[in-house]
A and B are shown apart, each in its own frame.
Chain A
Amino acid sequence: MTISSATALQRRALHRGIISRYAILWVTLALFVGLAVSTPGFFTSANLTNVLHQQATILIVAAPFTLTLIAGAFDVSLSAIYVLSPLVALQVQIATGSTLLAVITSIGAGTICGLLNSIAVVKLKINSFIATLATSFIYFGIAYVVSEQSILSPTEASFRDLSMLRIGPFTSATIFAVLVLVFFWVLLSKTRYGRYVYATGANAEAARLSGVRTELVLASTFVIVGAAAGFAGILNASQSMSARATDDFTFVFAVLAAVVVGGTSISGGSGAVWRTLVGAIFIAILGNGFNLNQVDPILQRVVLGLVILLAVGIDVISKKPAR
């Protein structure tokens, strides 16, 4: 083989790599452009900022959840934490009148839930899916107790500003989501900790022998994602100015959909926060496009399901490291 043909081959391989590696990005861009051209009302500032706002709580949890999945674990209890934390927080808010204290409480409650999950997974060595399924029931149960089975509402009208304050064209919830995304993006791709997360999920034994404290790394992802679910929960309560124990147990599925459509592998060791962002945007504008074109919501769900199958199927078939 001549040198020139070798480099041509390499270049072709490289191009193929760029196409397949960033496939979700190209598809999302294509969908965006397609909707902008075809659908009136899509490419407007009001619509797009609204779409972002609606994705804020999902993104705040999906970003750290990407780390949990990359570390090779799973957390089903995110819905329960998302429901329980703001209930605890609103009781504090009702008692004290302080929004700040409510936010701290909600994040704190999420952190404690995450800590319990990490103990079950890392110390008791229970499969993470099962362990968090079990703790979900516990957290939902506590949520009923905390809320006394009624709808809790904050006492201050200013509580709404936590998520709905306008900053330029964006809401405060959107800004929080962006900050959280950037934080985890940097954490995962630029720091030692991020490398350890990948290593733990890719080959836990090799990571341990390389000096990585794999148990600590794995535990930390549960605590972080728990805290994030607590924060997302209080933002959600702020958006609706209420919280109740029967809220949104499908939340974790929306979060997971964003992560996997982005291309993060649920078998661990590969993925990225930018992928989760793109995945979430893809799902959001797909839904938005359907709504604007008045597509039957039932059909929307079917299409979303097919999209997830396709995204994960491509991931399984190509088996390429996605990073």
Chain B
Amino acid sequence: MERLNLTTAPSSSIRLSGISKAFEGARALDDVCAEIRIGTIHALVGENGAGKSTLGKIIAGVIGPDTGTIEFDTTPVQFASPRDAIAHGVTMVAQELALVPTRSVLENVYLRAEDHFGPFVRTRKLRDRFQQLSMKTGIFIDPSSIVGELSVADQQKVEVLRALARNASVIVMDEPTARLATDEALGLRSIIKRLREAGTTVIYVSHFLEEVLDLADDITVLRDGKVVSSGSASGETTGSLVELMIGRTVDTAFPEKSFPQEFDGPRLEVRELSGSGFADVSLDVRRGEIVALAGLVGSGRSEVLRAIYGADATTGGTVMIDGKKYERRSPQKSIALGTVMLPESRKTQGLFLNFSIKDNVSISALDRFSNWSFVRPRVESTSVSGFLDDVRVKMHDMSQPVGGLSGGNQQKALFAKALITEPRLLLVDEPTRGVDVGAKRQIYDLLTRLAQDGLSILMVSSEMEEVIGLAHRVVVMRQGHVVGTLAHDGVTERQVADLAFGKPSADTEL
């Protein structure tokens, strides 16, 4: 792959130089330099969390970089807002669609770009414009249908039309096919190719490598927020891209893994579990074992975890805990059975941000601290403070609101909240999301220690290091199915990535 030569500046290109961005202390992008040629399809690829979506959002002005510049034809631009970016002809089709679901296609496409006569919208003129747009792009949708009633694929098309209606010459697409069926994805691909023929520049963020190879003229590969390569797509293969994306050694920030001679019998047995977003999932977690559920974002990992916990309904299959069939699952039954889940988003699913640390930690275990129905404050405080110490939450005192803690300490408080129920099976979704490096190591130590004490852990993680560094076994999911299980010795990132990205197993050997 050709390296970028930044000294010669071709006239029609978007140049990114020195772009860095951090979220809550965690570095998402680090000194990113790349060149996007006008009129091409430029793919951004990388593992979960490599920073590809962040980079896409920065290009579209959805978020601003901490440092670095974006130049359009050598003119530096700075977008203060998406609206600003639109004025420069740059827009984004986001992963989460931003349409007004209750209004018509026509209204959505021309929202804030209406032809008007005084305060009146000139609907007929809009319809004419819409028809021209349809002819130009080959996207045909009834302009009067209500957006909320359309399929996801059609909604995506509406987003594309809306982008074009604003005369966008650069469109950033973030995982546009992630939620589409195969034929719909193919349809979108041909639309994207048509856009390129019409001179539009498409920045295509995706983790479907075959799609990327089919579409892209140029590819920028990101790893841990850094550009590992940027240049022409020709000559690249799925294998070479995966190589570039991972190519990193597990650092020593992980505690020693201890493998007991033999794990005592299974604590959790899942058989052919199916539900929304996954099907026929079978897996076991034994006593004292850490099993990682790996896979790409959207592969159904979190859904499986939530289904086991009873947070979401399932359509088939069985769950056994400690050898007993566990039916009619619900979070509160799970807790009673010694199973607790740390949800993916601590802010929206895990914590009550306005409540005190104490009230947060004790909520799932109040029956332990109450006589009849009355909470015994002293017993509660003693127990809560014990668990907070155990997970090393830094705080003034536990009556302060949990929302005032740093991300790492909030996450540790979330662990205390789970552990206070004295679980035997811990379901953890993204144990270190949005957590600084120091707290990460503490959480890793904690998980390892808990497993040594006999706790069984089923962990979903998008951080490959974590999966490799912590898990005794790795169950890999792809598009809602388990595609392989890798046992402890010698699990490599390469193996996991190949399974997760769906690379033919014949190529697995290096």
**Footprint of B on A, CB under 8 Å?**
10, 190-193, 195-196, 198-199, 202-203, 205-213, 269-270, 321
Q: Quick one: closest B residue to A269, CB to CB?
A: B354
Q: Specify which chain A residues have a CB less than 8 angstroms from the CB of B374 in the assembled complex.
A: 190-192
Q: Quick one: closest B residue to A203, CB to CB?
A: B352
Contact (Cβ within 8 A) B311 A210: no
Contact (Cβ within 8 A) A203 B417: no
Q: Specify which chain B residues have a CB less than 8 angstroms from the CB of A196 in the assembled complex.
A: 363
**Footprint of A on B, CB under 8 Å?**
309, 311, 331-332, 334-336, 341, 343, 348-355, 359, 362-364, 366-367, 370, 373-375, 396, 401, 417, 421
Contact (Cβ within 8 A) B354 A321: yes
Contact (Cβ within 8 A) A211 B352: no
Q: Specify which chain B residues have a CB less than 8 angstroms from the CB of A198 in the assembled complex.
A: 352, 355, 359
Which of these, A190, A209, A270, contacts B375 with CB under 8 Å?
Answer: A190
Q: Complex: how many Å from CA A207 to CA B353?
A: 12
Among B332, B362, B367: residue with most chain A CB under 10 A: B332
Contact (Cβ within 8 A) A203 B348: yes
Q: Specify which chain A residues have a CB less than 8 angstroms from the CB of B401 in the assembled complex.
A: 321
Q: Quick one: closest A residue to B362, CB to CB?
A: A195
10 contacts between A and B (CB under 8 A): A190-B375, A192-B370, A193-B373, A195-B359, A195-B366, A198-B359, A205-B348, A209-B309, A211-B331, A213-B332
Q: Complex: how many Å from CA A190 to CA B376?
A: 8
Q: Quick one: closest B residue to A270, CB to CB?
A: B354
What is the interface of chain A mostly: helix, strand, loop, or mixed?
helix
Contact (Cβ within 8 A) B348 A208: no
Q: Specify which chain B residues have a CB less than 8 angstroms from the CB of A269 in the assembled complex.
A: 352, 354
Which of these, A191, A207, A210, A321, contacts B417 with CB under 8 Å?
Answer: A210
Among A193, A203, A211: residue with most chain B CB under 10 A: A211
Q: Specify which chain A residues have a CB less than 8 angstroms from the CB of B363 in the assembled complex.
A: 195-196, 199, 207, 210-212
Q: Specify which chain B residues have a CB less than 8 angstroms from the CB of A191 in the assembled complex.
A: 370, 373-375
Q: Complex: how many Å from CA A269 to CA B373?
A: 20
Q: Quick one: closest A residue to B363, CB to CB?
A: A210
| Shortest beta-carbon distance from B128 to chain A in Å | 40
Q: Specify which chain B residues have a CB less than 8 angstroms from the CB of A321 in the assembled complex.
A: 354-355, 401
| Shortest beta-carbon distance from A232 to chain B in Å | 25
Contact (Cβ within 8 A) B366 A209: no
Q: Complex: how many Å from CA A283 to CA B120?
A: 48
| Shortest beta-carbon distance from A4 to chain B in Å | 16
Contact (Cβ within 8 A) B354 A209: no
Contact (Cβ within 8 A) B364 A211: yes
Q: Specify which chain A residues have a CB less than 8 angstroms from the CB of B336 in the assembled complex.
A: 211
Given A195-B359, A195-B375, the answer on whether A208 and B370 have CB atoms closer than 8 Å is no
| Shortest beta-carbon distance from B383 to chain A in Å | 14
| Shortest beta-carbon distance from A6 to chain B in Å | 10
Contact (Cβ within 8 A) A209 B355: no
| Shortest beta-carbon distance from A213 to chain B in Å | 6
Contact (Cβ within 8 A) A212 B332: yes
